[in-house]
Amino acid sequence: MLSLAEVGLVLFGVFLVYQLFISRTRKNFPPGPRGYPIIGNLFDMPSGDEVFVWAKWRERWGPLNSVTTLGQTIVVANSYQKAIELCDKKSSIYSERAPMPMAGELVGWKENLAFRPYGKEFRYGRRVYHQEFGNNVSLEKFQPAQDTEACKFLKNLLDKPTDFIKLSAGIAGAMSMRTAYGYEKVDLDFITLVNRVMDTAGVAAAPNSFMVNMVPWLLNIPSWFPGAGFKKIAAKWRHELLTMNQIPWDFVKSQVAAGTALDSFSSRLLREVKSAEDENYIKWLAAGILVGGTDTSYGTILSFFLAMVHNPEVQRKAQAEIDAVVGTDRLPTYADRPHLPYVESLKKEIYRCFVVGPLGIPHMSNADDVHDGYFIPKGAILFTNIWLIAHDPDVYTRPMDFYPERYLGPNPQQDPMDFAFGFGRRICPGRYLADAAVWITMAKLLAAFNVLPPVKNGKSYIPPIEMTPGLVSHPKDFDAIVVPRSVKAVALINASVDQ
């Protein structure tokens, strides 16, 4: 009788023979690096800095590229136009979500709407999100809470300016927790857990991070089997994910039961729950707001601080606009937003220069397709290189420069909102909510504080711009000096939290 190891070797041999057959019948796929029999482009797949490797592919082979690894076709849209052609204009084909053995099956992210397959449950969740915050009218109910949290952030920053990195994570988490669950006081340790869960999600979802992502049948091997250490890692990450989901859910349930719940996404929907299945689904929708808004908004707010250190003249121009429009006797509110075009442009340039979702979550084709004369098979994984789209020299003048003026005047360059939150039917449903939170935070920061270069050995210096890898990217830790602009600014900050 064959041992498990021998059975595994036999199955792997059959798999290799099948892949050899497939590799010999390769069709006219989009161009890319030439692979090898059986393994295809296994050694061409980057294990980090994918966006830069794929940018080089575009230089050589054009804006639509592909590779095949162990029989899995991976397509990369390396321009905005190709991303729109596939994800938007052919959304009936490219709206499926690729199976993610490590992240989805083992860690448990398959319950999150962003990872769910396209179908009835996915469409229902999108509809719920759209009703809650899918347009400017529906957003108005969230604005008072966002304004309050932004004022708390200013006060915390006034008290502990050297903690701006930790406090940036706190404001992003506080706004998400207030929106999703009605939390008024957020534990920074919990926000640390949220950010850790998102970091591990990015690692788990990366194609080359674990062999199981390239050879899905490894899901079936027992956890004690040699080479199955990934299952122990997944179990730990799954526990953290479920803990993160459950803690705020238990809070809002107890508040609703006691009749003391603040108005929130969860409290409104909990009153309509009719079954345990409904409750579990809504719990995951609420968690989607938490994870979707916390880590990405944190990355954007932290990017703002780094951008101001590097671009003091931009900071001065934005502050001058606020002083001229709002004055110095109050802090900006949402009502001021239409009258602050330079601040709006600054925010757009943060989105473009500091891409927090450089690859997004990959789409998948649900049918064979021919595009631009190239064959894309059913089951192909589609990445959109959002970082390259944001730095495309064919679209943006001096794309590596931080230049908010590019969005002003009679011929503005492309608005990063067109791509920063994804494409097609998979575009982030909370993009307007997140954008509003980022804007009010930046506007109040500019009105109240100066962000200056740090000092070392008596001399100021400019810290490097270094971004973390992963599903969500944000600046690596850096130093900066954050000081109130004036005595009057200090008074405004204190008054804003005493109201």
C-alpha separations of 409 from 312, 405, 447, 473, 478 in Å: 22, 8, 24, 31, 34
Find, among 42, 78, 77, 74, the residue nearest to 59 by Cα. 78
Structure tokens at 389: 């789209």
| CB 351 within 8 Å of CB 416 | yes
Residue partners of 283: CB distance under 8 A and separation at least 6: 245, 246, 249, 266
- Alpha-carbon gap, residue 491 to 414, rounded angstroms: 39
Structure tokens at 50: 């994918």
Residue partners of 231: CB distance under 8 A and separation at least 6: 106, 223
In this structure, the strands spanning 64-69 and 72-77 are antiparallel
Exposed/middle/buried for 72, CB within 10 Å: 0-12, 13-18, 19+?
Answer: buried
Whether residue 428 is annotated as binding a ligand: the answer is yes
Structure tokens at 100: 């993610």
Structure tokens at 469: 């890898």
C-alpha separations of 188 from 54, 134, 168 in Å: 37, 28, 10
- For 251-285, the DSSP string reads HHHHHHHHT-PPS-HHHHHHTT--SHHHHHHHHHH
List beta partners, residue 72: 69
C-alpha separations of 140 from 176, 384, 431 in Å: 15, 32, 14
Classify residue 87 by its DSSP letter.
Answer: I
Say which residue the tokens 């070392």 belong to: 456
Find, among 208, 260, 235, 226, the residue nearest to 105 by Cα. 235
CA dihedral angle for residue 400, residue 402, residue 407, residue 411, rounded to 10 degrees: -50
Count of residues for the chain?
Answer: 499
Q: Which residues of 260-293 are buried (b: 16+ CB within 10 A; e: fewer)?
A: ebeebbbbebbeebeeeeeeebbbbbbbbbbbbb
- Alpha-carbon gap, residue 69 to 358, rounded angstroms: 22
CB atoms inside a 10 Å sphere around CB 361: 22
Structure tokens at 78: 């390396």
Which residues define the annotated binding site? Answer: 428
Which residues define the annotated binding site for heme? Answer: 428
